């Protein structure tokens, strides 16, 4: 009897415990959807501004890191012969920012090389001045360096107010070399020229430049060409060949590379052909440099374009426009300007191919 009671008691306890146990609950299935993740792409850096903060006025090249004193110095224009092997090769010509080639007696070519961003230690040979030189360089506002001049030419240049530096008027810095006979051995030291430049200002910008160079007017609107064939006279037949790999024109003389004393072939980023009328004054041929809407061509980036050019007076800059009157821009870099006769004497020519 007692055993049954024990069993019953145990069962009762078990039931009681079972009755008091918490009910097992299965939680409801809940799906949580988070807010969508917003992925932000990093903002791309703006493209570099191709326009330099500071540029050399005669080439348009970046001068941001240039010394302020160098930017403030005047340009130096130097008369240099360019006829035959007795005057070529020249020293330092490859450093000029702008070079003009002109027609003098009997069609002999002579150069006016303008140095500013690069001024080498010496340049030569140095030769005589002509009447048009003061008009060619008047807009640069710096000294004109030469050796000798017709008395009438000298008087004219002085009356214009052009600063003249020449051996035969007592200027310093000229010296003779031993590699050639006179007069083709006269060179000049540019640092000594600067000492005599007085308060001459730095040159104003002469041309408009495009940045990048692919936006230069000839590059955008011009006709492709890889060769420029020019004839100034029987003494001067320069040529220019486009080098696509380096983006420059390289110069030849009568089909042969035009090499300086340091072994560098003359080159330019821009080649400008300006047709000029030649008249005679004091028995000397003179290129007319004060003109309005005279024809010409410009070559940049492997293309060429007909243009018009104007120079209002001696100290005014060169204004280049398209044939319909829009401003012309160059590629930043060195520029050669070929002054080709088209009237007054046997006319030269300019062919692009």
Q: Using one digit for the tens of pLDDT, what is the confidence trace for 101-139?
A: 999 998 899 999 999 999 999 999 999 999 999 999 999
The DSSP bridge pattern shows strands 335-343 and 98-103 to be parallel
From CA 200, how far away is CA 27, in angstroms rounded? 94
The token pair at 143 is 């000294």
Q: What is the pTM of this model?
A: 0.86
Q: Which CATH architecture has domain 68-352?
A: 3-Layer(bba) Sandwich (3.50)
The H-assigned helical ranges of 98-228 are 133-137, 151-160, 190-195, 217-221
Longest dimension (CA), the chain: 161
32, pLDDT greater than 60: no
pLDDT in tens, 279-337: 999 888 999 999 999 999 999 999 999 999 999 999 999 999 999 999 999 999 999 99
Question: What is the chain's mean pLDDT, rounded?
Answer: 89
H or E element at residue 341: strand 335-343
pLDDT top residue among 33 and 260 = 260
From CA 127, how far away is CA 124, in angstroms rounded? 9
The H-assigned helical ranges of the chain are 2-20, 68-72, 133-137, 151-160, 190-195, 217-221
Nearest to 79 by CA among 13, 174, 10: 174
Contacts of 4 (CB under 8 A, 6+ apart): none
H or E element at residue 165: strand 164-166
59, pLDDT greater than 70: yes
pLDDT top residue among 117 and 16 = 117
Sorted by where each begins, the domain ranges of the chain are 68-352
* Per-residue model confidence (pLDDT) at position 346: 61
* Per-residue model confidence (pLDDT) at position 39: 45
pLDDT in tens, 142-184: 999 999 999 999 999 999 999 999 988 899 999 999 999 999 9
């Amino acid at each position: 009897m007692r055993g049954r009671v024990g069993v019953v008691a145990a069962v009762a306890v078990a039931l009681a415990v079972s009755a008091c146990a918490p009910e097992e609950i299965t939680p409801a299935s809940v799906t949580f959807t988070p807010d969508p993740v917003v992925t932000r792409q990093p903002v791309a850096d703006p493209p570099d501004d191709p326009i330099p903060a500071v540029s050399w006025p005669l080439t348009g090249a970046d001068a941001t890191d240039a010394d302020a004193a160098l930017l403030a110095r005047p340009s130096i224009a130097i008369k240099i012969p360019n006829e035959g092997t007795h005057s070529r090769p020249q020293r330092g010509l490859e450093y000029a920012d702008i070079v003009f080639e002109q027609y003098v007696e009997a069609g002999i070519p002579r150069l006016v090389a303008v140095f500013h961003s690069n001024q080498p230690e010496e340049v030569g040979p140095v030769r005589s001045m002509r009447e048009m030189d003061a008009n060619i360089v008047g807009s640069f506002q710096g000294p004109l360096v030469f050796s000798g001049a017709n008395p009438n030419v000298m008087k004219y240049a002085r009356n214009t107010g052009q600063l003249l530096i020449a051996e035969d008027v007592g200027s310093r810095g000229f010296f003779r070399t031993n590699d050639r006979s006179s007069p083709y051995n006269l060179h000049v030291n540019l640092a000594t020229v600067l000492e005599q430049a007085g308060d001459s200002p730095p040159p104003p910008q002469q041309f408009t430049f495009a940045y990048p160079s692919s936006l230069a007017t000839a590059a955008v609107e011009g006709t492709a060409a890889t060769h420029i064939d020019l004839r100034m006279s029987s003494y001067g037949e320069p040529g220019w060949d486009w080098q696509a790999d380096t983006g420059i024109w390289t110069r030849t003389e009568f089909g042969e590379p035009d090499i300086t004393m340091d072994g560098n072939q003359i080159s330019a980023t821009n080649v400008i052909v300006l047709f000029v009328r030649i008249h005679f004054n004091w028995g000397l041929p003179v290129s007319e440099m004060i003109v309005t809407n005279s024809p010409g061509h410009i070559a940049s980036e492997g293309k060429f374009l007909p243009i018009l050019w104007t120079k209002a007076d001696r100290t005014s800059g060169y204004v280049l426009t398209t044939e319909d009157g829009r401003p012309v821009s160059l590629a930043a870099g060195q520029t050669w300007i070929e002054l080709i006769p088209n009237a007054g004497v046997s006319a030269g020519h300019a062919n692009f191919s």
